[in-house]
Every structure is written in C-alpha cells, then in structure tokens.
Amino acid sequence: MGQWALIGRLRSRLSAGATLRPEVPLPIAGDQRAWDVVIGGLSGPDLAVDAETRLHDPQAQMRRVMLKLRDSGFDRMVWLVSDTRHNRAALRAVGNLLVASFPLSARSALRALAAGQTPEASAIILL
C-alpha cells in the first residue's frame, strides 16, 4: 500500500492532463518485469516510473531499474523514492554513482511534469 501512496504523491504534482497507466509490462515475450507506472499525456514521450518505498541495496536496486530501462524501449525514467531519513542516507552513500544514470535534478523533473512536459533526462525524485 505504501507504494501506491508514494505514486499518489507524485500524481498530485503532475499537470492536469497527465495520465497514469499502472503495471505496464516490458515488451518482451515471457518477461514478467513491469513499470510501476507510465505517465502519458505529456508533451513528449511517455515516462516510465519505478517506485521504491525503502532502499535496501541502492546499487543493486539502481542496476535493476537501469536494466529495465535498457530493455523497455524507454529512453528515460523517474526513480521515485520515499523521502525518508533512511532512503536519503542510502542515496548519499552511493553518491556519484547515481549522477551518470540520473543526471536531471528532482526539482527540474518535477517542474517539467507540473508543466505537462516529459523531463529531458532520467531523474530520482524523493517524495
């Protein structure tokens, strides 16, 4: 249930015309992976979102979402993470490893989404 509350917090920051499609499978026969949400209705390509309520091993979890991005046909994504002290510390611990894969700031990504635009690159958003 926490994951849907997290996605709801993101939904409240989106433009009015944005649409959410939950549990969107990857386009590979037999592959059981899915995006938690795909945001449509933006002035640009749809945006994949993977939501995490608690980071256990941020490097492994980042590797998993980056492989999903590679295999999905999307060129960018949002890694949506619950804004908790634990998760902030976990992300700080991996620091610069995240920058190459998630170059856009959360502020810039949220600004684009609120304006109904697809962010220009992948981002980590803590909400």
- Mean of the per-residue pLDDT values for the chain? 96
CA-based torsion, 101, 109, 34, 87: positive or negative: positive
Phi-psi region of 70 (alpha: psi -120 to 50; beta: other; left: phi over 0): alpha
Contact between 89 and 109 (Cβ < 8 Å)? no
- pTM (2 d.p.): 0.95
For the stretch 53-102, pLDDT in tens is 999 999 999 999 999 999 999 999 999 999 999 999 999 998 888 888 99
Contact between 77 and 122 (Cβ < 8 Å)? yes
Give pLDDT, residue 41: 98
CA-based torsion, 19, 112, 79, 65: positive or negative: positive
Quote the tokens at residue 73.
Answer: 């046909």
103-57-31 Cα angle (round to 5)? 80
In the structure, what pLDDT confidence band is assigned to residue 1 with cuts at 50, 70 and 90? Answer: low
pLDDT value at 8 more than 80: yes
Quote the tokens at residue 76.
Answer: 């960018």
Q: For the chain, what are the domain ranges?
A: 2-126
Alpha helices in the chain (DSSP H): 2-11, 58-72, 85-94, 97-101, 106-114
CATH of domain 2-126: 3.40.1350
Tokens 């890694």 sit on residue: 79
Q: Strands of 19-25's sheet, edge to edge?
A: 19-25, 34-40, 47-52, 77-81, 123-126
Give pLDDT, residue 16: 95
